[in-house]
Structure 1
């Protein structure tokens, strides 16, 4: 499979399964209708993908101006934390508004989603590589 096709397939499958699982999980946690949580999960996915593009562009702009080159553990940790904090700031109000809950409750739902997506990403990558094989860079 070509690298571009692999990336597209990965993204489509990752987001589709993530939206379904997150939507069902939010329904269980919040007691809201699956339809409502499914829509907010899809909107959250769109926000996350858009934020990823914006954040990585800004991060790389900042990174090019640093005297120390490379991506140390500290820089990678700062990148991950910055991304997740920014995403939380964006998603908590959306969750609060859409699910008609307090901002605190929405923040707790969002933290649950963060933990879920760390585990989901790890497991999804394992499964994806088992089914479609490793990329050339990993062989």
Structure 2
């Protein structure tokens, strides 16, 4: 299992690198002023960091309980990323709609597009992170 400090480092690095990539691209793609899109990305990143910590902690505990370890195969990584994004979608769509004064459907389309980016990004980032900062081998207690 990762330490609290490691989980915090993971969440901060994940969001900072994503913000550097997604803010200018998202503003351009969605035709939203970069300042407004920046607000959306910073608030979304803050919500996502909190969700990231809670979700990953729960996911690792679930893996340890169900299969006895926290080693992630490619299918587990894909499922992990998809479940994370579905939860985040439920948290962010109402905020995006409110901030932009947009209909929920438009906010949903925007968030689904962003989620597509983040699913691919999450798989790549987490794989790289696990390679650079490997999880110590653990097994469930008897």
User: Paired residue for 1:107?
Assistant: 108
Please say if residues 19 and 41 of structure 1, whose CA atoms lie closer than 8 Å, have aligned partners that are also in contact: yes
Please say if residues 23 and 39 of structure 1, whose CA atoms lie closer than 8 Å, have aligned partners that are also in contact: no
Q: 1:12-44 deviations in whole A, cap 9, x for unaligned?
A: 4x5334224322233223332211110110111
Scaled by the length of structure 2, what TM-score is found?
A: 0.65
Distance 2:10 2:85 in 1: 24
Q: How many residues end up aligned between the 2 structures?
A: 124
Runs (5+) with no aligned partner, structure 1: 129-133
Please say if residues 92 and 103 of structure 1, whose CA atoms lie closer than 8 Å, have aligned partners that are also in contact: yes
User: Paired residue for 1:45?
Assistant: 45
- 1:55-74 equivalences under 5 Å are 55-66=55-66, 68-70=67-69, 71=72
After superposing on structure 2, the runs of 4+ consecutive aligned residues of structure 1 that deviate more than 6 Å are none
Scaled by the length of structure 1, what TM-score is found?
A: 0.66
Runs (5+) with no aligned partner, structure 2: 135-142
| Larger-gyration structure (1/2) | 1
